[in-house]
Amino acid sequence: MTVNLYTAPFLIAWWSLICALLVTCLALLQMSFVQLRRSHADVWKSLGEPHVLGDIRTTYPARKFVWSKECRALNDDVLTRRASLSYYSGMTAAVLGLAMVATVVVAVVLRASSLRVPEIVRGATAGGGIWGACPDSRFEHSPEVKEAISPEFNARLAKRFPRGSSEQILIKTLKTEGFGPARECDSDHSIKESEFRLNGNEVVAQAYWKAESNGTLVWTKGFVAYTFL
Amino acid identity, residue 110? L
Which residues in the chain land under pLDDT 50? 1-5, 229
Please write the tens of the pLDDT for every residue from 40-78.
999 999 999 999 999 999 999 999 999 999 999 999 999
Residue 229: predicted pLDDT = 47
Q: Pick from 83, 115, 147: which residue ends a domain?
A: 115
Under 8 Å between Cβ of 153 and 224: yes
Residues 161 and 101 in one domain: no
Residues 15 and 107 in one domain: yes
Residue 203: predicted pLDDT = 87
Give the three-state DSSP class for 190: coil
Residues 106 and 129 in one domain: no
Range of the domain at 66: 7-115
Per-residue CA distances from 132 to 14, 128, 171 (Å): 45, 11, 18
Q: What single DSSP character describes residue 215?
A: S
Residues 53 and 150 in one domain: no
Name the residue among 219, 221, 211 with its Cα closest to residue 162: 219
Residues 125 and 78 in one domain: no
The pairing of strands 203-211 and 183-184 is unpaired
Q: Pick from 115, 132, 158: which residue ends a domain?
A: 115
- Is the pTM of the predicted complex or chain greater than 0.75? no
Q: Give the whole-angstrom CA distance, residue 116 versus residue 108.
A: 13
Q: Pick from 67, 97, 115: which residue ends a domain?
A: 115
Neighbouring residues of 158: CB distance < 8 A, sequence distance ≥ 6: 220
